Amino acid sequence: MTKQELEKLAQENLEMAYVPYSHFPVSAVLVTDDNQVFTGINIENSSYGLSNCAERTAIFKAVSEGHLHFKHLFIAGHTDEPISPCGACRQVMAEFFAPEMPITLLSDSGETKETNLSELLPYSFTEKQM
Ligand code: THU
């Protein structure tokens, strides 16, 4: 899939979000090194703290099917500015993503931000410190 198609998929996938409490859908599209595509959405729970973010849903889906190497993550939300991933998701990304792996943040306005983990979570805790 092209970058444009992956961005469109991330935006269309917002409708899959299970968000009865926040009404704030988030969508993620994760591309593996061998070009497989995993989608994720946020999945909320009546016990709010058990909710799972879209980014972690996509990562856990891919890892649970044996994929450990990734080349691009797209994140979408109905936001005016490019959506910003939460700190918990950034830490989970640090487990699997190379620091310079592209992460594209999307918005409803059409504005996008190209970033990576070295910007989103510098000096992160990884296995290298253990
Ligand atoms: N959310 C995500 O899915 N990803 C993020 O990076 C930020 C927050 C979700 C969690 C919750 O379902 C809703 O957005 C509002 O916080």
pLDDT tens digits for 7-16? 999 999 999 9
Report whether residue 13 contacts ligand 1, using a CB cutoff of 6 Å: no
pTM of whole model > 0.95? yes
Q: Which phi and psi angles does 52 have, rounded to 5°? A: -120, 135
Domain borders along the chain are 3-129
Q: State the burial class of residue 122 (Cβ atoms within 10 Å of its Cβ: 0-12, 13-18, 19+).
A: exposed
Distance from C-alpha of 26 to C-alpha of 66, rounded to nearest angstrom? 24
- Whole-number Å distance, alpha carbon 42 to ligand 1 midpoint, is 6
What's the CATH number for 3-129?
A: 3.40.140.10
Contact between 17 and 41 under an 8 Å Cβ cutoff? The reply is yes
Report whether residue 82 contacts ligand 1, using a CB cutoff of 6 Å: no
- Whole-number Å distance, alpha carbon 54 to ligand 1 midpoint, is 7
Which of 14, 29, 53 for a ligand 1 pocket mutation test, highest count of atoms within 8 Å of Cβ?
53
- Whole-number Å distance, alpha carbon 107 to ligand 1 midpoint, is 14
Q: Is 7 a catalytic residue?
A: no
Per-residue pLDDT band at 48 (split at 50, 70, 90): very high
What tens digit of pLDDT does each residue of 26-39 get? 999 999 999 999 99
| Predicted local confidence at residue 89, as pLDDT | 98
Nearest atom in ligand 1 to the alpha carbon of residue 51 is 12
State the sign of the Cα–Cα–Cα–Cα dihedral 84, 99, 67, 6.
positive
